[in-house]
Amino acid sequence: MKTLIKLLVAAAIVFASWKCGNAYLKFYRLKDAAQDAALFGASKSDAQIRNTIAEVANELNLPLDPDRIAVRREPNHTYVTTSYVEKIEVLPSFFYPWEFKLDIDVLTMTPPRDAQLPDK
pLDDT tens column, 5-58? 999 999 999 999 999 999 999 999 999 999 999 988 888 888 999 999 999 999
The rounded percent of the chain whose pLDDT value lies above 70 is 91
Contacts 24+ apart (CB under 8 A), 115-118: 115/75
Burial class (CB in 10 A: 0-12, 13-18, 19+), 15: middle
3-class secondary-structure state, position 72: strand
The domain segmentation of the chain, as residue ranges, is 2-107
pTM of the model: 0.81
Contact 37, 55 (CB under 8 A): no
